[in-house]
Amino acid sequence: MKIRDLEENWDLIIIGGGITGAGILREAVRMNLRVLLLEQKDFAWGTSSRSSKLVHGGLRYLKQGKFLLTRDSVFERERLLNEVPGLVEELGFLMPIYKDHGPGKWLIRAGLSLYDTMSGKLHHRFHNAKAFAELAPRIRQENLVGGFHYTDAQADDARLVLRLIQEAAVYGGCAVNYVSVNEVLRDIRGNVVGVSAEDSETHEHRIFSTRAVINAGGVWAEKLHPSPKPNLHLRPLRGSHLIFPSAVLPAEQAFIFTHPRDNRSVFLIPWESVSLFGTTDVDHEEELSVEPFISKEETDYLMEGLEAFFPNMNISVDDCISSIAGVRAVLSEGRLSPSEESRDHVVWRDRGLITITGGKLTTFRIMAWDALKAIRPFLPAVQMVGKGDPVFSAAYDESDKLPPLIWRHLCGRYGQAAWEIVKTADPQDLVPVPDTHTLWAELPFAAKHEQVRHLEDLLLRRVRIGLLTPEGGKEHFPRIQKLCESALPWDEKRWMEEIRRYSELWQRAYGLPNC
């Protein structure tokens, strides 16, 4: 859908197509609102496709005394596990305890016990040094006291955003990518009456009318709505990960370690055929519109941690298959180190313009309802309904064309559309792309139905081939083009340009760190 195809009048306009904006869109359509979401780049372009892929309660927030945030996160984690299997799945964690480094056994036991109490399940267990070494034989054994096993959850972050948008569209919501909002328009009393928007690439301009705007622009939020508190502003913080083939850095379960340099928590996380290691937490001082990338300093920091935790594996940065870097929107008064900043969200109100920023992936629904409650005075006829209803449509019967686990993953990523993918695909395309969980048949479906404007949209966010396979999926380009050429309005010249553009982007922002 293009900007020229959109209607002029809307009850509510949402700015930002990450997890926060997508969650608000999904909840707003329950209220029979005519809702338009506008995203200046691609859906989930920012942090919502570059996270640690965790849907978790935030164990470290207990250390900061954020008990309510942890409780809410645990509740939302459990709800998502029940509602959307195949997209959000349980993930086991191992946490080693050492005599010479990191927190002690009893402190961690207390935190995990409270964590379990919040979820109503017994998720953790302590193993002595011998038993833990059997579970994790590759980690550093020197001064190992033992370690804990506990359970959290994992998701494909970008597909979670797209699934929310898909669910909203079924009930009449509208979301368009590559449309930027330049200005929020007001009447002579200062009340919101609309927005001025343009296509980010063609620069076609439109005015849309509305009485209410929710600004969910993440790190860009203050460009449209400066903080009402003089000493509280958004602090862009970059979190980066190195991605290794699982054959190089095996991880049947996730690990949480305390980095020897600064005592921050870092994670090793299995994801499909790879292992993610991160994340960092540093001030991001580059232009926000430029694709972020991992720095040499961050790379050195992560490799230092890997060498400390896996001293005998001889892993080098050359073993990386890819990297990701995302910029978080964190509220700050400028006094704390990056890792000590709060991950709470905040809501600002200004005569029909509501800004919501901060927060975390797991609590997107709580954030959505906080934003919609704030907008209600400007839409007095709206009934706040559906708060306890499922976010996602129900699970489906198994398909006789796919193995149960593959069908589960497909339903999790696409919901009701999973049947269409299977029904319209050639049998030869109902198999995974090597070293991924992505079926070849997903590529033409996403190209046709999910507003793909560039090859990077398809390979980095609709599916994750660009992160999971060597050189961003280069060896698969011919088959990808053949599968998708009927779904995309690109001639041969455009295909060559898209491949060139994507390859340059991948090398600059997703490839091996420039060390």
Domain CATH for 347: 3.50.50.60
167 and 33 in one domain?
yes
384 within a domain of the structure (yes/no): no
139 and 169 in one domain?
no
Q: Kindly tell me if the per-residue pLDDT of 70 is higher than 90.
A: no
Ramachandran region of residue 142, left (φ > 0), alpha (ψ -120 to 50) or beta? beta
491 and 370 in one domain?
no
414 and 505 in one domain?
yes
Among candidate residues 275, 304, 331, the one where a domain is terminated: 331
Q: What is the count of structural domains for the chain?
A: 3
195 and 252 in one domain?
no
431 within a domain of the structure (yes/no): yes
State the pLDDT at residue 154: 96
178 within a domain of the structure (yes/no): yes
76 within a domain of the structure (yes/no): no
Task: Give the mean pLDDT of 208-226.
Answer: 95
221 and 99 in one domain?
no
pLDDT-derived band at 224 (thresholds 50, 70, 90) equals very high
Task: Give the mean pLDDT of 40-50.
Answer: 97
pLDDT tens-digit series, residues 365-424: 999 999 999 999 998 888 888 888 999 987 677 778 899 999 999 999 999 899 999 999
How far is CA 91 from each of CA 109, 251, 257, 278, 462, rounded to the nearest angstrom? 19, 11, 16, 16, 23
Indicate which CATH number applies to the domain containing 271. Answer: 3.30.9.10
Task: Determine the structural domain holding residue 40 and report its residue range.
Answer: 3-47+158-232+342-378
364 within a domain of the structure (yes/no): yes
Task: Give the mean pLDDT of 286-295.
Answer: 94
350 and 499 in one domain?
no
291 and 203 in one domain?
no
Average pLDDT value over all residues in the chain: 93
pLDDT tens-digit series, residues 251-286: 989 999 999 999 999 999 999 999 999 999 999 999
**% of the chain residues with pLDDT over 90:** 81
Q: Kindly tell me if the per-residue pLDDT of 236 is higher than 90.
A: yes
238 and 127 in one domain?
yes
pLDDT-derived band at 183 (thresholds 50, 70, 90) equals very high
| 2 or 243, higher pLDDT | 243
123 and 112 in one domain?
yes
Q: Residues 184-188: contacts with CB within 8 Å, 24+ apart?
A: 184/213, 184/215, 184/224, 184/225, 184/353, 186/351, 186/352
Q: Kindly tell me if the per-residue pLDDT of 515 is higher than 50.
A: no
State the pLDDT at residue 358: 87
Euclidean distance between CA atoms 368 and 20, whole angstroms: 7
DSSP sequence for 289-322: TSPP---HHHHHHHHHHHHHHSTTS---GGG--E
Task: Give the mean pLDDT of 338-365.
Answer: 90
Q: Kindly tell me if the per-residue pLDDT of 218 is higher than 80.
A: yes
Indicate which CATH number applies to the domain containing 471. Answer: 1.10.8.870
State the pLDDT at residue 64: 66
- 196 exposed, middle or buried (CB, 10 Å; 0-12, 13-18, 19+)? middle
220 and 93 in one domain?
no
73 within a domain of the structure (yes/no): no
371 within a domain of the structure (yes/no): yes
Q: Kindly tell me if the per-residue pLDDT of 192 is higher than 70.
A: yes
Euclidean distance between CA atoms 94 and 135, whole angstroms: 9
491 and 426 in one domain?
yes
214 within a domain of the structure (yes/no): yes
State the pLDDT at residue 62: 65
Task: Give the mean pLDDT of 494-503.
Answer: 98
